[in-house]
Amino acid sequence: MVDLENTLFMLPGPVKIHPRVLRVMSMPALPHRSPEFSKINEEIRDLLRYAFQVDDDYHVAVFSGSGTSGLEAVISGILNKEDSVLCIINGKFGERLYEICNIYANAHPLEIPWGQAPTLDAVEEIIEKYEVTAIALCHNETSTGMTNPAEEIGRIAKEHDLIYILDGITSVGGIELYPKEWGVDAIVLGSQKCLAAPAGLAAVAISDRAYQRIGEGRTYYLDLKKHIDKIEKGDTPYTPAIPLFLAFKEALLMLKEEGIEKRWERNKMLATMLRSAVKALGLQLFPEEKFASNTVTAIRYPKGIEDKEFRGILKEELGVIVAGGQSIVKGKIFRIGHMGICSEVDIMATISAIEYALLRLGYEFEAGAGVGEAIKVLSTWRMHNEQGMQKV
Amino acid sequence: MVDLENTLFMLPGPVKIHPRVLRVMSMPALPHRSPEFSKINEEIRDLLRYAFQVDDDYHVAVFSGSGTSGLEAVISGILNKEDSVLCIINGKFGERLYEICNIYANAHPLEIPWGQAPTLDAVEEIIEKYEVTAIALCHNETSTGMTNPAEEIGRIAKEHDLIYILDGITSVGGIELYPKEWGVDAIVLGSQKCLAAPAGLAAVAISDRAYQRIGEGRTYYLDLKKHIDKIEKGDTPYTPAIPLFLAFKEALLMLKEEGIEKRWERNKMLATMLRSAVKALGLQLFPEEKFASNTVTAIRYPKGIEDKEFRGILKEELGVIVAGGQSIVKGKIFRIGHMGICSEVDIMATISAIEYALLRLGYEFEAGAGVGEAIKVLSTWRMHNEQGMQKV
């Protein structure tokens, strides 16, 4: 059995958690209706605006549930059966967004092959055909390792005055993103992704015009308005997952201390290192490279390398944990998360481990080539970086 | 500033500590004169016999102090001014052993260049010249990354019926060692080395004939007999460092669960990976390769690579912590610990990081060559290993 406390944990969420974040969860019982917890809620509220890069004209809320709960809260809150919503599907999480929209509104899918970006023409076409009132887009597709062109689609949404909903579960805090400038009305994050907090919380930011639209009584536990109005006063509608709130606050603080631009830059650098290694090893990215994500990298298996065996060697022989493919790409790709507090040496170690597994499985390549390329990329990056000798 | 909780910690002690070991230290106050603490002491006593690979004919003790306190307890306990003790000096810790022996006995140094092993002839010569009654040897020289030929010197000690004292601070639990077969009368370990417990404790194992020799009143806090007699009954003479005892027990348990032969083998494999990378990068080990240690590797800086700059890049740019040289080799070598719970990917990451730093400093080599060689070594090792696909 693998010692899960002595591994290199490289999933695209949950991700490695900092000891400082883990430690706050060991606090003895804390009453959630207390001035002490109110203060924590208020701090979370303010730090969330920083993480989402929004001002007071956006409303925020936290849900004790997974990222999916945040998506449902948003969609059930601001859309209704009168709405005609365009859902772009090019991965598993675009699919999920569509499934949720389908319950609360009239959803119109724009299906494109996984790993490819939608053309703006196709988006326009559906908008006109179905008199669309809203767009729902998965910003960063964890299932394919690609980032959708959220800014460009936002421009279309603005032109047509559409409600624009973004699943930012693996982008917020990891990938450059400006909700207001991009015309985003609702955006959702998951605690266990770019913030590197434990799994179990979702958070959302809602534009004021979306807030004004919130209908009542469509759901209960995930009631968007109640959650927004309560956290504004430092409270929660129901019992929150108390230790997770404590950890979430600490992780949000760590993001602020690092600086979100620095974290975006770090994730981008890690992604660039990894992509350069992929090429040097003669492997292929799954998505179009132009749209390759900075927080998760999906790599196609070369001929003859079997998923279970490959990931088995990484886990059992080296204690390195990466993800396989989901749904239609199961067995065809593997995925590496490099968001949150993932470091340069974590990436170097991961590349070394991948090389080791490929060697074990008889793949032909020059051992060390991937790591060699990655350290060259990092070295060049640092030389051209104004942070100079410091870790970014 | 480097985030010391998100680093790759590769010192030759203190070493990376397992979360399981850290966690037990967070126990609320525990009275040391209690049946609960007695039980812990008894467990430590029995687990120590396993770590030292000795039976009931050896006595053990734990000191709340550094490894050095254990050395002084042993030397002050079993040697006296009538003793003529041969001290082999080929590194900083051989030197320290000599300094302690010099206080409590008549010490005769055999000085040889750092990183080289003593010849058995030279040892015999001093034994005869000074009518030596005891030998003190540092088994694994952390300062030079070499392992002294303790078994061979033990054979000489046996032939001459000498008291044989081993500093096993960075060997016990990390390098193959059989005290009884080798004629060892006293051996000392440090908690923060091969056991991967926190720093602050020393432990010793003493043969019965050495125990019978223990004099009284030469020291007080480090009184060897008191400590041995007390732990035999699950007690300590003075207030012990309670949280450290809890962590020490957990770390000893982890060694037993892994199995000491497996840990020896793992350390050897990690050392072999690292040494193969050193060669592939055109670097040189500091000690004679034949005597290179399995728990710490010392590497000479190539021309033009400056210690402070090199280790600064590792620490500041990558969060990788390795040691420099001490005393006469300061600035000439750097040292990497690979004892305790150090893993294969820790070594791969360390080699990658070294390559990165060399690249940054303009050293000419083929980037990736070190890691490439190390993963080949590991792959071959695993293929020929009966543990097969499992982590050793």
Last residue of a domain, one of B197, B223, B258: B258
Q: What is the overall mean pLDDT for chain A?
A: 96
Predicted model pTM:
0.95
Q: Do B316 and A389 touch (CB under 8 A)?
A: yes
Q: Please report how the helices A35-52 and A242-258 are oriented relative to each other, as an axis angle in degrees rounded to 10.
A: 40
Asked if the structure places residue B367 within a domain, the reply is yes
The Cα–Cα gap between A113 and A136 comes to 17
Q: Give yes or no: residues A127 and A165 share one domain.
A: yes
| Number of independent structural domains in chain A | 2
Whole-number pLDDT of residue A106: 98
Kindly state whether residues A221 and A100 are assigned to the same domain.
yes
Q: Does B392 map to a domain?
A: no
For residue A384, give the 3-state DSSP assignment: coil
Residue whose C-alpha is closest to residue B98's, from B141, B138, B140, B145? B138
pLDDT digits (tens, 9 = 90+) for B306-352: 999 999 999 999 999 999 999 999 999 999 999 999 999 999 999 99
Check whether residue A233 and residue A311 sit in a common domain.
Answer: no
State whether B216 and B290 are in the same domain: no
Residue A85 lies in a domain: yes
Contact: A351, B346; criterion CB under 8 Å? no
Q: What is the pLDDT of residues A283-337, one digit of tens each?
A: 999 999 999 999 999 999 999 999 999 999 999 999 999 999 999 999 999 999 9
Q: Are residue A163 and residue A31 in the same domain, yes or no?
A: yes
| Contacting residues of A for B371, CB less than 8 Å apart | 352, 355, 367-368, 371-372
| The pLDDT value given to residue A216 | 83
A150 and A232: one domain? Answer: yes
Nearest C-alpha of chain B: how many angstroms from A382? 9
A140 phi/psi in degrees, rounded to 5: -120, 115
Q: If you measure CA to CA, which chain B residue comes closest to A353?
A: B345
Residues 6+ apart with CB under 8 A from B373: A367, A368, B276, B277, B279, B280
**Domain that residue B252 falls in:** 19-258
In-domain check, residue A2: no
Query: Does residue A3 sit within a domain?
Result: no
- Which of A5, A1, A3, A8 is CA-nearest to residue A342? A8
Which residue positions in chain B have pLDDT lower than 70? Answer: 386-392
Chains A and B form CB pairs within 8 A to the count of 141
| Cβ-based contacts of B317 with chain A (< 8 Å) | 344, 382, 389-391
Are residues A138 and A200 both part of a single domain?
A: yes
Q: What is the CATH number of the domain that holds A246?
A: 3.40.640.10
- Nearest CA to B353 out of B7, B1, B71 is that of B7
Mutate to test the interface with A, among B22, B375, B383 (most CBs of A within 10 A): B375
Distance, in angstroms, between B245 CA and closest chain A CA? 21
In a domain? residue B290: yes
**Is there a cis peptide before residue A14, judged by omega within 30 degrees of 0?**
yes
Which among A233, A258, A283 is the end of a domain?
Answer: A258
Element (H, E) at A152: helix A150-159
- Note whether A226 and A375 are same-domain residues: no
Query: Could you tell me where the DSSP H helices lie in chain B?
Result: 19-24, 35-52, 67-78, 92-104, 120-129, 150-159, 208-213, 224-232, 242-258, 260-280, 307-312, 318, 344-360, 369-383
- Determine, yes or no, domain membership for A197: yes
pLDDT, one tens digit per residue, over A159-169 is 999 999 999 99
Same structural domain, A204 and A250:
yes
Chain B residues close to A308, C-beta within 8 Å:
none
- Closest partner residue to A6 (CB to CB) among B18, B370, B389 is B18
**C-alpha A229 chain-centroid distance:** 25
Residues A340 and A222 in one domain: no
Q: Report the chain A residue with the minimal C-alpha distance to residue B383.
A: A360
Tell which residue, B80, B386, B14, has the closest CA to residue B213.
B80
**Residue A152 pLDDT more than 90?**
yes
Residues A253, A313, single domain; the answer is no
Chain B: nearest CA to A121, how far in angstroms?
45
Residue B390 maps to a domain: no
Q: Distances in Å between the alpha carbon of A314 and those of A53, A353, B390?
A: 37, 7, 11
Q: Give B234 to chain A, closest Cα distance, Å.
A: 31
Q: How many CB atoms lie within 10 A of CB B219?
A: 17
Q: What is the CATH number of the domain that holds A283?
A: 3.90.1150.10
Taking the CB of residue A167, how many other CB atoms lie within 10 A of it? 32
Lookup: tokens for A10 = 């490289």
Statement: residue A392 has pLDDT above 50 = no
Do both B230 and B377 map to the same domain? no
State pLDDT tens for residues A203-236.
999 999 999 999 887 899 999 999 999 999 999 9
Which positions in chain A touch B346 (Cβ < 8 Å)?
A: 349
- Of B202, B226, B258, the residue that ends a domain is B258
**CA–CA dist B184, B179 (Å, integer):** 5
